[in-house]
Amino acid sequence: MKEKLQYLSDACKKHSEKTRMSSMGQGVDRYLYAMFCIWKRYLQDYEEEQQQQQHPVEEGSGGEQQMEAVGLSRDDTIVVQMDGEHDDDDSTTVVGTNGGKNLHASGSHGNNDIYDNFDLLKTVPELFADSGWDKLNSTIISTSNCGNPSLRLFGFGPVSANGFGIGYILKDDSISICASSKHRQTQRFLVTLNSYLLEIQSIWKQVETMNKLQDELALKIDISKKQKETEEEQARPKHNINALLGGYGYFDMGEEDIKSRGQSPEPPFLNRANSSFSVREIGKNYD
């Protein structure tokens, strides 16, 4: 059971590392998608140019009258900012007439050599015609997290026709999950996910209980070992310090033993009863 939790922890760490790497723009799918968008833009610009060449602006037409209405002549140049997919860069399309000839050039491309061969341009590049590109862009499970725990549910739609979209909210003591799909068994998926989460919760509780019992057993063994060492220490014979110091204490050590011997008799010269001098006579000088 511990191995299952360890595998789950390792997988979560690896997933977090890849997510962090992708959020910094280091995912290979973003670069491939940018190249795919560039190819589509070249193809779209070329198709628009071909349509303009096939349907030139005629004199007296609505386009000519509209130019005259805004005060423009046939030799003026119109700079149009492209909308739609071109709003994320500063590419422009210059359209005008010069001596009755239509002009069209791309301001961001700068070089129109790529438009020389339309058959080559309209052919899907081999990199994006590979089946691996389709698998890379077919996301079966796409998830999104809502950072607001006060919400009850958070919806997130699938990004592919045969996939699931999962929106989840992490709360203090629970997880709110909302799944959706177009052609899949969403209810069955949620039931399976719920059973898996309950299984992981049960395994985690069992492992925590085992770890707690092991810690308590280790603590009891440690206490028993210390008690045994204390009993052995108390059973050892103690050395008499007076025997080592010859009956004299070291500083205050052994002082009680010396006092227990009783009072020693004072020398004769310290006994006042046997002294031939009085207290008054002590300290006087006799000539």
Tens of pLDDT, residue by residue over 182-206, are 888 899 999 999 999 999 999 999 9
In this structure, the strands spanning 141-146 and 92-98 are unpaired
Which amino acid appears at position 273 of this protein? Answer: A
Which range among 38-47, 72-81, 126-135 shows the weakest confidence by mean pLDDT?
72-81
Cα angle 121, 126, 127; round to 5: 110
β-sheet bridge partners, residue 87: none
* Assigned token pair, 239: 């050395």
Which range among 44-53, 167-176, 207-216, 242-251 shows the weakest confidence by mean pLDDT?
242-251
> Model pTM greater than 0.85?
no
Question: Residue 44 contacts by C-beta under 8 Å, 6 or more apart in sequence?
Answer: 85
Among candidate residues 103, 101, 110, 88, the one with its CA nearest the CA of residue 42: 110
What is d(CA 13, CA 11) in angstroms, rounded to the nearest whole number?
A: 5
Sketch the domain layout of the chain as residue ranges: 19-57+77-137, 140-184
Between 54 and 259, residue with greater pLDDT: 54
The pLDDT confidence band at residue 148, using thresholds 50, 70 and 90, is: confident
Q: What is the mean pLDDT of residues 171-187?
A: 89
CB-CB contact of 78 with 66 (8 Å): no
The pLDDT confidence band at residue 218, using thresholds 50, 70 and 90, is: confident
Phi, psi of 76 (to 5 degrees): -80, 160
Tens of pLDDT, residue by residue over 243-276, are 555 555 555 555 555 555 556 555 555 555 555 5
